Amino acid sequence: MSIEVTQPFERVVAQHGHTVLRVCRALLGTHDADDAWSETFIAAMRAYPDLPHDANVEAWLVTIAHRKAIDVLRATQRRPVPVDELPEAPDARPKDDLELWAAVRTLPDKQRQAVAYHYVAGLPYAEIARILGGTADAARRAAADGIKNLRRTYPGAITEEAPS
Amino acid sequence: MNDDTHHGRTTDAAVLGSALSTPTDADTLTRLHDRLVRQAEAQEILDVAYTTVDTPVGPLLLATTPKGLVRVAYASEDHDAVLDHLAEKVSPRILRAPHRLDRVARELEEYFAGQRHAFDLDLDLSLSHGFRRLVQSRLPEIGYGQTRSYREVAELVGNPRAVRAVGTACATNPLPVVVPCHRVLRADGGLGGYVGGADAKSTLLHLEAA
């Protein structure tokens, strides 16, 4: 990994804000994703001057988002899910984005996290293993199982054709 | 970063990635950015706030610390490079936060309209040191519409033989326009150099002569 100068934090937000938002949505759904995003970036900005110059910034941000999402989940699991967040009949409009998020959220924790970090954030499994604990192979299996489950619950959500 | 072939991902990645994105993301990210700025201010970790403003001498980058205005930069200085330098020399905790520069932008607007002859702003001179900083701190004594030679400025700071060093101090002024290095000319009346280029220097001098 190459040595580079520490970038202005504004550029970190511009480069990675979108990916972190999608990761938070995959982990939590839209309702809580904004709060997790905010907590991730304020924590990141606080620690940013101490980040090593050669760090993988995206993996670092996803690691923070992972912890913040767990905090949010622990808090929300004690209160009922808002009604407007519930998925409709699974096969009604299978390509609907909100339903896909809902489907991702029904996956077991490890599968959901592995899918989000690999398929949404684009992290390699070795990096994901560092976040989740365990081995790269275990992370790879969790992501594969997650995709298999998504194919079964939302057959229209993952096809060879990208949704418009 | 998103190199599918290296991580053995398939079409699923692209499909999932785009499916988990929505058209409202740009608006959402703007809103989240604003919220981040507010939180960073409240927690006192916004070390440098910046914006850009359009002026008769082109777009100027304005950057401030909690102490005061720390940098004014011409487009020719490369605003990205200027932000990199601020990240290195001041702090990387930098966000675009135009409201923090409202007063600076308003005073500049008044100046370029010919309605303001002196700036009333807190300045953070931490980007310059030693003799350069001494020279830059004395430049505001050259009033609106007046000019001095490099030699006269050298005398002003009590070092009449440091003419060349005065030139360097002017060329490295981190706060051009606001700290009026454009009012320093060659003894023979020649324009001399300028961080924003000769055209910008003469534009400012013409504005002040009007």
Number of domains in chain B: 2
Residue A112, domain member (yes or no)? yes
Which chain B residues contact residue A13 at CB under 8 A? 33, 36, 95
Residue B10, domain member (yes or no)? no
Per-residue model confidence as pLDDT tens digits over B136-189: 999 999 999 999 999 999 999 999 999 999 999 999 999 999 999 999 999 888
Average pLDDT score, chain A: 82
Which chain B residues contact residue A49 at CB under 8 A? 91-93
Residues 6 or more apart whose CB falls under 8 angstroms from that of B55 comprise: B108, B112
Q: Is A8 within 8 Å of B18 when comparing Cβ atoms?
A: no
Could you tell me the pLDDT band of residue B9, with boundaries at 50, 70 and 90? Answer: very low
Per-residue model confidence as pLDDT tens digits over A135-148: 999 999 999 999 88
pLDDT at A30: 79
Lowest mean pLDDT among A58-62, A86-90, B116-120: A86-90
* Whether B84 and B151 share a structural domain: no
Q: Is B93 within 8 Å of A49 when comparing Cβ atoms?
A: yes
Q: Which of B3, B15, B41 has the most A C-beta neighbours within 10 Å, making it the best mutation to test the interface with A?
A: B15
| Domain containing residue B74: CATH number | 3.30.160
- Could you tell me the residue range of the domain that residue B181 belongs to? 130-209
Q: Is B20 within 8 Å of A22 when comparing Cβ atoms?
A: yes
Which chain A residues contact residue B70 at CB under 8 A? none
Lowest mean pLDDT among A81-95, A116-130, A131-145: A81-95
Closest Cβ opposite residue A157 in set B7, B19, B33: B19
Residue B181, domain member (yes or no)? yes
Closest-approach residue (CA) in chain B for A51: B92
Residues 6 or more apart whose CB falls under 8 angstroms from that of B172 comprise: B128, B132, B195
pLDDT at A48: 96
Closest Cβ opposite residue A42 in set B25, B43, B48: B43
How close is the nearest chain B Cα to the Cα of A73, in Å?
A: 19
Distance between the two ends of chain A, CA-based, in angstroms?
36
Residue A159, domain member (yes or no)? no
| Domain containing residue B142: CATH number | 1.10.10.10
Residues 6 or more apart whose CB falls under 8 angstroms from that of A27 comprise: A33, A36, A65, A66, A69, A73, A105, A112, A113, A116
Catalytic residues of B: 181
- Could you tell me the residue range of the domain that residue A37 belongs to? 9-85+92-153
Q: State yes or no: ipTM above 0.95.
A: no
Average pLDDT score, chain B: 91
Q: What letters, b where the CB count within 10 A reaches 16 and e where it falls short, cover A90-127?
A: beeebbbbbbbbbbbbebeebbbbbbbbbbbbbbbbeb
Closest-approach residue (CA) in chain A for B26: A18
Q: How many CB atoms lie within 10 A of CB B120?
A: 7
> Residue A15: pLDDT above 50?
yes
CA of B172: how far to CAs of B73, B94, B101, B130, in Å? 11, 22, 22, 12
Token pair recorded at residue A136: 């790269």
Q: Is B169 within 8 Å of B135 (Cβ atoms)?
A: yes
pLDDT at A54: 86
How close is the nearest chain A Cα to the Cα of B92, in Å?
A: 5
* Whether B107 and B134 share a structural domain: no
Could you tell me the pLDDT band of residue A113, with boundaries at 50, 70 and 90? Answer: very high
pLDDT at A31: 79
Widest pairwise Cα distance in chain A: 50
Residue A98, domain member (yes or no)? yes
Hey, which bits of B65-131 come out as E strands?
A: 69-74, 94-96
Residue B191, domain member (yes or no)? yes
* Whether B104 and B66 share a structural domain: yes
pLDDT at B4: 41
Q: Mark which of B86, B112, B138 sits at the end of a domain.
A: B112
Closest-approach residue (CA) in chain A for B2: A122
Number of domains in chain A: 1
Closest Cβ opposite residue A13 in set B3, B25, B33: B33
Residue B51, domain member (yes or no)? yes
Q: Is B13 within 8 Å of B22 (Cβ atoms)?
A: no
* Whether B89 and B153 share a structural domain: no
* Whether B158 and B195 share a structural domain: yes
pLDDT at B64: 98
| Domain containing residue A106: CATH number | 1.20.140
Residue A163, domain member (yes or no)? no
Residue A2, domain member (yes or no)? no
Closest-approach residue (CA) in chain A for B79: A8
Which chain A residues contact residue B6 at CB under 8 A? 124
Lowest mean pLDDT among A60-64, B11-15, B102-106, B176-180: B11-15
How close is the nearest chain A Cα to the Cα of B182, in Å?
A: 29
Which chain B residues contact residue A11 at CB under 8 A? 83
How many percent of chain B have pLDDT more than 70? 89
Residue B14, domain member (yes or no)? no
Mean pLDDT on A13-20: 94
Residue A68, domain member (yes or no)? yes
A92 compared with B129, residue with greater pLDDT: B129
Residue A76, domain member (yes or no)? yes
Residue B182, domain member (yes or no)? yes
Q: Is A17 helix (H, G, I), strand (E, B) or coil?
A: helix
Token pair recorded at residue B98: 């135009």
Residue B117, domain member (yes or no)? no
